[in-house]
Amino acid sequence: MKKLSILLILVLLLMVIISNNLFGINTNDTRMLAQPVISANHIAFIYAEDLWIANIDGSQPRRLTVDEGIESDPYFHLTEL
């Protein structure tokens, strides 16, 4: 459990750094990054009220939703875990 927590923190930090370079996200203001969920291969999270997914190493972040609704509580299906 401790290794998973450390991995999560490292991956989230890497995602913030990569996202800043790719999308111009202000790393000084990451208050909108929330609710990360980890599977064997991916990380899902909420950013700016949209659902995003990235590889486990933080590479290739992709926005999955773009709408006026508020997404929350992402999860992976049991087969993805």
Over residues 36-53, the pLDDT tens digits come to 888 888 999 988 888 999
What pTM does this model have? 0.57
DSSP state of 38: E
Among residues 31, 43, 32, 42, which one has the least CA distance to residue 71? 32
Which band of pLDDT confidence, cut at 50, 70 and 90, is reported for residue 31? low
Cross-strand bridge partners of residue 55: 42
The Cα angle at residue 58 between residues 81 and 35, in degrees rounded to 5: 60
DSSP state of 27: T
Structure tokens that stand for 39 in this block: 């599977």
